[in-house]
Structure 1
Amino acid sequence: MKTLSEDLMLLIEREISGQASPEELVTLNNWLSADKKNIKEYQVLQQLYRGHQTLLRNNIVNTDEAWQKVSNKIEILQNSNKKTIIYRWYYVLSAAAAIFIIVFFAWVFRINNQVVTIEAVAGNEQFLLPDSSSVSLKKGSAITYNRSFKKGRSVIVKGIAYFDVKHIVSNSFTVITNNTLIQDIGTSFLVNNTITKDEITVFSGEIKCINLSTKAVINNIIAGKKIINYSKGFVVTDFTDTNILSWKSGVLDFPDVSLTRVLEDISLHYGITVKCLPIDLSNNIYVKLHFENQPIQEVLNEIKLVTKLQLRKGNNEFIFFQSVKNESSQIKKQK
């Protein structure tokens, strides 16, 4: 573990106590995103800070009494010869080190469960944070936060998470990824975090985002907008994808869209690959479809029925294609 600068140690302490400013959070999260080892180091320091407060508050370790025992041993040495002093001084240092280790592991034992990580392993998960904000995690995603969440509402996200935030004027809600710091202003929003970029879609309220690489800030991202944060900057677009929360609701709705778009959404929703060959064929087919919590085979059969296409299973993928007898016919756009 590298020795941290005094400024960084103070910054971590301010963040833990909920006193860090947005600018300070940017600096801290820049450091966190620089190296995965920094996150583990931060979590240890976070635990030690809180553990120290817990120990003092609950008097788990009487540090005065522990130090007095060491001090008494030092006093005995004053009447010893030099050789004995060297030997006993080593003994005293060992005793002091042992006491330190006891105190350290008492800290770790007491605060071992302070950092909470929730992973959606078996399927999608929905739950409440300690401040009553709700979170929905897509399967394979995870969040991490401190158990004393109400003092400083910060969440680290990996993967895809939907937040419905309880707005508190005096206590902002912050979401952190490896690319972005997101701060809410009474909001519900979706975060899609990958290694190279983040996509944040705002459904209600307003957010602001900070690029952790460039420290650029973008404010007033309102409902109906989607912001994409690449490492070099932001791109803001209108939100048009009606199925972006299908993994959460179980509903896929296609009012009159190309088969290409349908297959893309289905692939993402079910975590499989579904495509049409040749690609130009699916671009020219438009369909009206609606699915609610249906198994993939039912969905594929309905698409097959509506489009009159054939379906085969390849290597870990499903492929729609046009039969030879229908190649001469054109499938026109359905109104």
Structure 2
Amino acid sequence: MDSQDINVLLAKHFSGETKPEEEAVLMNWIKNNPDEYISLKIFFAESQPLDSPQLFETGNAWNRIAPNLSSTKPTVFQLYKKYIYATAVAAVFILISTFAFLYANTEITVQTANGQVKSIELSDGSLVTLNDNSSITYKRFLWNNRTVSLNGEAFFEVKHDESKPFSVNTGTLSVKVLGTSFVVTTKEKEKSVAVITGKVKVTATPTSQTVILEKKQAVHYVSNRLIKSDTANKNLLSWKTKSLSFENTPLQKAFQDIEDCYHIKIQVEGKISDSCTVTTNFKNESIKEILEEFRLLFGLSYTQKGNTVWVKNISCEK
């Protein structure tokens, strides 16, 4: 049954004029759309004028008095009845349209807790993977305006639509794309955008400075400036993939990537030599397995309590 038929049934239902078979059809629709029906019922009740609360009972009144009227009168009442019926249909149509508009433009906010990662599919088919301690706000239906707001970090896989660019706003940075995959980070100590595939335009909101990024390029917002780099961190998505790759990577940087991947904090006792590097790979290993390998490689000792790891006695002798 199409929406126009439902509109007619709802109008008759609210005026108390549905037949048993029509009521059965409508009850089945209400069973599948309870929230929409309740909202329409509330809208309908609130929209009734105070001086004519029984407006939609006119049809019933007509049925009761019709047999007692002379044959020269019914045309006037019939026209009035049709007018009331048409008004009811129009009112229900307006209410449904209003409800649909409000429903479509409802803003949804998704948040993640510490150590939690969530995957979200937007109404346009775009996919978002939200890192921990992050939040994203978007409209329920991204029709003409594909814009979302981000706080924290997320990986976007945007559905291509040349006529409707996709935008991510962070307050400091604005990212606009047509169809691509990229990571946006907007944390207290880091604000950056890195492109995995495709091309994006990044604008620094405070200064209006703009840069174009292509595959494997990144930009960092530092001291009110956008600084572009040609090589994005290969472990950028480790928090999503649980894969880490190090090739002559400074140990301090390796610890930072491990922190991001496993949502932990590594506290190192003393200063790590710049000559201390690591070459190894991990795939779906536990944090304990990784720490054990580093213990064997560098002779270090470590203790872990909750989400914090204390490391000391690092030896970088080859």
Q: TM-score, normalised by structure 2?
A: 0.64
The structure whose Rg is larger is: 2
C-alpha separation between the residues in 1 aligned to 2:249 and 2:148?
Answer: 36
User: In structure 2, what is the equivalent of residue 200 of structure 1?
Assistant: 193
- Pairwise CA RMSD of aligned residues? 3.5
Higher mean C-alpha displacement, 175-184 vs 119-128: 119-128
Q: CA deviation at 1:225?
A: 1.3
Question: Is contact 1:120–1:138 with CA below 8 Å preserved after alignment?
Answer: yes
After the TM superposition, which residues 44-123 of structure 1 pair with which residues of structure 2 at under 5 Å, given as runs?
Answer: 60-61=43-44, 66=49, 111=103, 114-121=106-113, 123=116
Question: Is contact 1:179–1:197 with CA below 8 Å preserved after alignment?
Answer: no
C-alpha separation between the residues in 1 aligned to 2:307 and 2:150?
Answer: 29
Provide, for residues 233-273 of structure 1, a one-character-per-residue CA deviation record: whole Å limited to 9, x for no partner.
Answer: 31111234111100000111112322222212112222222
C-alpha separation between the residues in 2 aligned to 1:128 and 1:315?
Answer: 32
Aligned: 1:237 with 2:226: no
1:310 to 285, 301, 304: 301
Q: CA deviation at 1:289?
A: 2.0
User: In structure 2, what is the equivalent of residue 141 of structure 1?
Assistant: 134
After the TM superposition, which residues 238-277 of structure 1 pair with which residues of structure 2 at under 5 Å, given as runs?
Answer: 238-277=230-269
Change in Cα spacing, 1:216 to 1:63, as seen in structure 2 (3 Å) is farther
Q: CA deviation at 1:293?
A: 1.9
> What are the ranges of 5 or more consecutive residues in structure 1 without an aligned counterpart?
1-56, 71-102
Provide, for residues 273-322 of structure 1, a one-character-per-residue CA deviation record: whole Å limited to 9, x for no partner.
Answer: 224433134x3322222222222122111110122223345897433333
Change in Cα spacing, 1:153 to 1:246, as seen in structure 2 (3 Å) is same
2:176 to 162, 166, 183: 183
Change in Cα spacing, 1:113 to 1:295, as seen in structure 2 (3 Å) is farther
Give the counterpart letter for 1:198 in structure 2: K
How many residue pairs align between the two structures?
235
C-alpha separation between the residues in 2 aligned to 1:215 and 1:263?
Answer: 34
Change in Cα spacing, 1:274 to 1:205, as seen in structure 2 (3 Å) is same
User: In structure 2, what is the equivalent of residue 290 of structure 1?
Assistant: 281
Change in Cα spacing, 1:196 to 1:251, as seen in structure 2 (3 Å) is closer
Q: CA deviation at 1:62?
A: 8.9
Q: TM-score, normalised by structure 1?
A: 0.61
Q: CA deviation at 1:187?
A: 1.4
